[in-house]
């Protein structure tokens, strides 16, 4: 059970980190509107991005900004995190954030128009002392590759996907679309794999998690789920994540755990009341 405790604590932190990380960029990009000329579009994108970044404050992001290289038709989006060079969360950024940003850019009309006109996006993440964590250049070819990428098999099984909510906000819908395009993600320290995030009929944010073999039996038990709950509550990270989703009227998060074959093991639902 001690192993389950450690692994759950690690996964719950990354769940919170991933959602809040995406929220800041999505909110900024959704506010950006278009214009016709590619140079004007680049200038508009950079101005709107930087204006939006000025008023956003989020855990794990020290600052983020965009700048335009008009000669080479490149927009550089730089993000300085609060992580040190040895922080394990850097693995999350390397594996997940580039694809998430690509998906977010794809869903934003102005960035799609610029990509069609040959504009490229260079996305760079830094540690707190400005050491590079990850970088990627997104062009039309790269975006086409993303569109044709094959989804994770379990991600496409309708039997384990919760129904869509009655009336999702456009921002939340775009966020979940970008998030799911970047999945599955396997946490290296826990072995757990998040393969889908959606909403159920009552509006809960639902995380579908595939457990490694050594955690299958513990997760089937009431004691195991109780331990998972206590670890998540003790970390306090999920409470901060729920606060960031208040504007979507989300007041509960559900974790549904599966084995490697897609059989449901157990589930856990946490509300804002649990953190009081």
Residue range 114-134, pLDDT digits in tens: 999 999 999 999 999 999 998
Indicate the pLDDT class of residue 270, thresholds 50, 70 and 90.
Answer: confident
- Average pLDDT (35-64) is 78
State percent of the chain over pLDDT 70. Answer: 70
Using one digit for the tens of pLDDT, what is the confidence trace for 175-185?
777 778 777 87
Domain 21-147, CATH number (from 3.30.300.250, 3.40.225.10, 3.40.390.10, 3.40.1160.10): 3.30.300.250
Residue 91 to residues 33, 63, 95, 194, Cα–Cα distance (Å): 33, 19, 6, 15
Both tokens of 269, joined, read 């639902």
Domain ranges of the chain: 2-14+175-275, 21-147
Contacts for 194 with CB less than 8 Å, ≥ 6 apart:
11, 15, 18, 183, 184, 185, 187, 207, 208, 209, 210
Both tokens of 9, joined, read 């604590």
> Is the confidence at residue 137, as pLDDT, over 50?
yes
Q: Considering only 41-55, 129-143, 208-222, 240-254, which range has the smallest mean pLDDT? A: 240-254
> Is the confidence at residue 88, as pLDDT, over 90?
no
CATH T-level fold of 2-14+175-275 = GMP Synthetase; Chain A, domain 3 (3.30.300)
Indicate the pLDDT class of residue 201, thresholds 50, 70 and 90.
Answer: confident
Q: What distance in Å separates the CA atoms of residue 29 and residue 45, rounded to the nearest whole number?
A: 8
| pLDDT score recorded for residue 147 | 67
């Amino acid at each position: 059970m001690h192993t389950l405790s450690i692994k759950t604590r690690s996964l719950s932190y990354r769940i919170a980190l991933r959602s809040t990380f995406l929220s800041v960029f999505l909110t900024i990009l959704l506010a950006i509107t278009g214009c016709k000329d590619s140079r004007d579009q680049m200038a508009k994108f950079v101005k709107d991005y930087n204006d939006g970044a000025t008023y956003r404050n989020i855990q794990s992001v020290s600052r983020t900004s965009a700048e335009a290289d008009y000669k080479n038709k490149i927009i550089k989006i730089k993000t300085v995190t609060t992580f040190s060079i040895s922080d394990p969360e850097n693995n999350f950024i390397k594996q997940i954030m580039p694809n998430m940003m690509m998906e977010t850019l794809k869903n934003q009309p102005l960035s799609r128009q610029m990509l069609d006109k040959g504009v490229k996006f260079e996305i760079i993440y830094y540690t707190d002392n400005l050491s590079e964590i990850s970088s990627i250049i997104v062009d039309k070819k790269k975006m086409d590759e993303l569109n044709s990428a094959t989804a994770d098999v379990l991600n496409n099984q309708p039997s384990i996907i919760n129904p869509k909510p009655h009336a999702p906000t456009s921002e939340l819908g775009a966020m979940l679309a970008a998030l799911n395009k970047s999945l599955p993600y396997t946490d290296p320290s826990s072995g757990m794999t998040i393969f889908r995030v959606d909403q159920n009929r009552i509006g809960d944010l639902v995380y579908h998690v595939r457990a490694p073999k050594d955690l299958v039996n513990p997760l089937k038990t009431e004691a195991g789920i109780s331990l998972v709950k206590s670890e998540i509550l003790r970390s306090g990270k999920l409470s901060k994540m729920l606060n960031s989703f208040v504007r979507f009227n989300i007041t509960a998060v559900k974790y549904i755990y599966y084995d490697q074959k897609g059989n449901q093991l157990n589930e856990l639902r946490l509300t804002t009341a649990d953190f009081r």
